[in-house]
Amino acid sequence: MRTFSLALPILALAACTAFAETLKVNGSTTVNLPVAEAAEILRAEQKLDIQVDTQGGSSGGISMLGDGLVQVGMASKPVSDDDRARYPTVKFNEIHIGEDAVALIVSRDVWDGGVHALTRQQIKDIYESRITNWKDVGGKPQRIAFFNKEPGRGTWEVFAHWTYGSPKDAPQVSFPEVGGNEETRNKVAGTRGALSQLSSSWADGKNVFALGIKLDDGTVIEPTSENISTKKYPLSRPLFLLTNGEPRGVAKPLIEFVLSERGQELIKKHGYLRLKDLK
Amino acid sequence: MTRALSWFFSLIALVGIAGVVGLFAWQSVPVWQQEGWGYLTGVKWFFRQHQFGALPMIYGSVAVAAVALLLAAPIGFGAAIFTAEYLPRRLRLALKILIELLAGVPSVVYGLLGILLLRDWVYDAFARFDPLSGDTLLTAGALLAVMVLPTIVTLSDDALRGVSSAQRQTARSLGLTRAETIFSVSLPQAKAGLGAALLLAFGRALGETIAVFLVVGRQDNHLPASLFSLRPLLESGQTLTSKLGGSETNIAYGEPKHWAAMAGLGLILLVMTGVVTLLGTGFGRRSDA
Amino acid sequence: MRKLLDFVLGAVVALCALVAVGILLGLVYVIAQRGGPAITWNFLTEQIRLVGASGGIFWNLIGTMILLASAFVICVPLAVGLALVERAWLRHPASRRALCTVLYTMNGVPSIVLGIFGFIVFVQGCGWGKSWLAGGLVLALMMLPTVTVSLIERLKAIPSKYLEAAAALGLNRAQIVWSVQIPQAWGGLLTGSLLALARAAGETAPIMFTATIFAGATLPKGIRESPVLSLPYHIFILAQDSFDPAVGGKLWGAALVLLALVFLLNLLALPSRLKIHEEANV
């Protein structure tokens, strides 16, 4: 990642000639927040033409980059071997721009009912519908309303990766679905006994609350910035901007901006961890 | 020259129309090859395991449309009877225009209202049945009921107006009250048209995507043991349209089996709405004859 | 007893009508009340900022206009062609009925199906990526039955004595079309188009896979890779984030603007429809 900053002057020349092109960006709703704001700033300051969309989440970002429909993809999960195999001619370049974590969030009534953490086994049991009531995990009697993230969401893949080792090993289940981060928070806040997966920075502690992970020895790790940056909290995930090969043309200014001081401030503003916060 | 041009454009249009059906049929071939009729009757949809069964979604679509009709038909018919039989010409026209105007409200706006008003209302009103959330088949059905109400009112009004006023006048002059006239003259004569109204409203309800997508819950594989019981309606479900309008369409493209399954859903939807629409317009025609 | 039944029925159906109109008017009231405060000159002339939390919907309106205009331009020749073929060149009543049946059935096709069709053929098959033209084509297909049927009905209403007189004067079929049928049918074309456009303006499903994105697009440059913003898609995406108060008011404002657009298109078609209604009753 450092090497392309040396190639800057050379690529800058190329960038100048490509100024009329429109930059298309698509992918994860998690990464979208800072990137969309970065795009707005660049549009205003450098008159760049940047289009940002969030169709299909992280998977949508990867597949549209692979199909050549966009120049930059946004993903909150790494590009998998399956993805690379599906697009053998595409050189997926993962540009790390920040870090985030996936939290299990609950509605207010569950939090107030005493449930502040869960073990991995309990989470598995809930996911596979062996536990269906909060009273079985230390809360008040209330039906567990689990909202599963849509297929293709980076958030879900991170969750499945940690809970089952790999998304492929996750059992097939049927729960009501939620799409992006906004919808998830909205639904969980408005439903009794609700539980879902969400980017930890979106858990505002007012409407929805992030549970900690209880380890086998009883210690509870909460998704705080400290725990995420030291990787103590296990469900952390990198935030990526993806390009096909090295960033070229109009993609360059955006990538550079996001990696710059100002761009990283945007990352922090939206609750994620900057690269320099990681240890 | 004019003739050639007309035929040229017509053929383009017709090719486009046929293309829609043909395309979905062609693209869905792999899933038919894999599952055969099991695709229609299968109850499990697990796309990662390449297991594709469309029945829960067919049930979802039909259940939601049926709820919509059950809720909207009585009110719709009643309102149509009122406009067709009781109102003087000017008022009837005014009311009809008003209702038709309101029929144009976009589905995304209905979806918005559904999220913000209907969802919580259903969640609280049925709280003692302990629903998982406010997004249920019932919520979607109720929202659709409001959406198809103008359709039912307009078409039923047309059907009732199609009954000749001479017959009504004869009945009244024989001493029948207005109510009796309605029941013995208007309604029986307008039967076909009223049936057509219901069928077309059903077709519209089957095909609605956005409003249903937002409030149905999108839970796969929800197929109750008993198709006619009411309790399962308070659970989240999935319809053909909510699945097609969701994220799987984006993911599936590029993966042949998965994409074929999605195209298959489109084909099923085309066939269902096509049949219902054909029946509906067929009925309507007969009443004109 | 009979009088009682009469009275009860009257009351019940009046109530039904009241409920029907009440629900629908109430809906409009809610939108107007919540969205009204958000409508400012800035709202209509600025672009989106901060993922919808501030700024306006200018480019969304422009995008919707572009989609509607292109749909109209594509649809008209197709509809006129079909209507003329049905009226002037198909002689068998069976083939005419067949054409009309095809049109009615087409009208019942769910818009999501058309949207995915457009996705397969234009976005992927033609390699356009998301494009305003793909959206225009799909919307045109959606509008086609309404406009064609309206045109056919209008053509049907031309008194046969005009056609007979023209034929008696020695005009061939093409000339009759241009001198008698088309001039008389303009009204039907306009009416049908306005009604169809009203529906197209509010549709999200046909354009969400083919033509529209959430932010960043202004005017399209060319056909490939040229999506536009649109009002319905904007509302759809934001509708899933209704807890954020910063977005709330603007969301309702956008809904109100869309509603106003649809109503306007419908109302514009009204005078012509009323005239036809009057003529039919005479």
Q: Is residue B32 part of a domain?
A: no
Lowest mean pLDDT among B175-184, B197-206, C71-80: B175-184
Residue A11: per-residue pLDDT:
46
The architecture of the domain spanning C39-280 is Orthogonal Bundle (1.10)
Dist. CA A273–CA A267, nearest whole Å: 7
pLDDT score of C66:
93
Check residue B28 and report its DSSP letter.
T
pTM over 0.90: no
Structure token digits, residue C219: 């005017």
The ipTM estimated for the assembled molecules is 0.88
Instruction: Decide the pairing of beta strands A50-53 and A220-221.
Output: unpaired
The string of DSSP codes covering A208-270 is EEEPEEE-TTS-EE---HHHHHTT-SS-EEEEEEEEESS--TTHHHHHHHHHSHHHHHHHHHT
**Sequence ranges of the domains in chain C:** 39-280
DSSP assignment of chain C = -HHHHHHHHHHHHHHHHHHHHHHHHHHHHHHHHHHGGG--HHHHHS-EEGGGTEE--HHHHHHHHHHHHHHHHHHHHHHHHHHHIIIII---HHHHHHHHHHHHHHHTS-HHHHHHHHIIIIIIIS---SBHHHHHHHHHHHHHHHHHHHHHHHHHTS-HHHHHHHHHTT--HHHHIIIIIHHHHHHHHHHHHHHHHHHHHH--HHHHTTTB-SBS--S--SSTTB-B--HHHHHHHHHTTTT-HHHHHHHHHHHHHHHHHHHHHHHHHHHHHHHHHHHHH-
* Residue A49 contacts C, CB cutoff 8 Å: yes
Q: Give yes or no for a contact between C42 and B121, defined as CB atoms under 8 angstroms apart.
A: no
- Look at residue B244 and tell me if it is in a domain: yes
**Is B27 part of a structural domain of the chain?**
no
What's the helix, strand, coil split of chain B in %, to 5? 80, 0, 20
Chain A neighbours (≥3 Cβ pairs under 8 A) are: B, C
Q: Are A91 and B278 in contact (CB under 8 A)?
A: no
How far the first Cα of chain B sits from its last, in Å, is 36
- Residue contact B17–C141, C-beta within 8 A: yes
Q: Summarize pLDDT for A103-135 with one digit per residue, the tens.
A: 999 999 999 988 899 999 999 999 999 999 999
pLDDT at A75 over 70: yes
Asked if B186 and B80 count as a contact pair (C-beta separation under 8 A), the reply is no
Tokens of A140: 């008040």
In angstroms, the CA B25 to CA C100 distance is 23
pLDDT value, residue C182: 80
Contact list in C for residue B263 (CB cut-off 8 A) is 116
* Cα B14 from Cα A217, distance rounded (Å): 70
pLDDT in tens, C155-164: 888 888 888 8
CB contact, 8 Å: A52 with chain C? yes
Measured distance CA(C189)–CA(C191) in Å, rounded:
6
- Tens of pLDDT, residues C240-260: 765 565 567 788 888 999 999
CB contact under 8 A, C108 and B74: no
Count Cβ atoms below 10 Å from residue B172 Cβ, excluding itself: 14
Measured in angstroms, the CA of A59 and the nearest CA of chain B are apart by 7
Query: Within a domain: residue B44?
Result: no
In this structure, what CATH number is given to the domain that contains residue B133? 1.10.3720.10
Contact C110 B74 (CB under 8 A): no
Exposure of A36 in the CB half-sphere (CA atoms within 13 A): 23
Q: Which of B219, B246, B255 sits opposite A175 (nearest CB)?
A: B219
How far is C159 from C172, CA to CA, in rounded Å? 18
How far is residue B154 CA from its own chain's centroid? 15
> Comparing B5 with B203, which gets the higher pLDDT?
B203
Q: Where are the alpha helices (DSSP H) in chain A?
A: 3-6, 8-17, 29-46, 57-66, 81-86, 108-112, 120-127, 154-164, 181-189, 225-229, 251-259, 261-269
Show the domain range for B218: 55-284
* Cβ-based neighbours of A13, under 8 Å, separated by 6 or more: none
Sorting pLDDT into bands at 50, 70 and 90, what band is A4?
A: very low
Beta strands A212-214 and A220-221 are: antiparallel
- B 182-211 residues inside an 8 A Cβ radius of A: none
The 10 Å Cβ neighbour count of residue B163 is 20
User: Are A151 and B130 inside 8 Å of each other by CB?
Assistant: no
Q: Does A204 touch chain C (CB under 8 A)?
A: no
Structural contact between residues C243 and A185, judged by C-beta atoms closer than 8 angstroms: yes
Give tens-digit pLDDT for B39-54. 888 888 888 888 888 9
Answer whether residue B92 is part of any domain: yes
Mean pLDDT throughout A206-228?
87
Listing DSSP states for A72-85 in one string gives EEEESSPPPHHHHH
A242 and A70 Cβ atoms separated by less than 8 Å: no
Q: Which residue type is seen at C10?
A: G
List, for chain C, all residue ranges whose pLDDT scores fall below the cut of 50. 282
Tell me whether residues B133 and A152 touch, CB distance under 8 A.
no
User: Chain C partners of A207 at a C-beta cutoff of 8 Å?
Assistant: 243
Q: Give the nearest partner residue to B105 out of C27, C240, C270, using CB atoms.
A: C27
- Number of structural domains (chain B) is 1
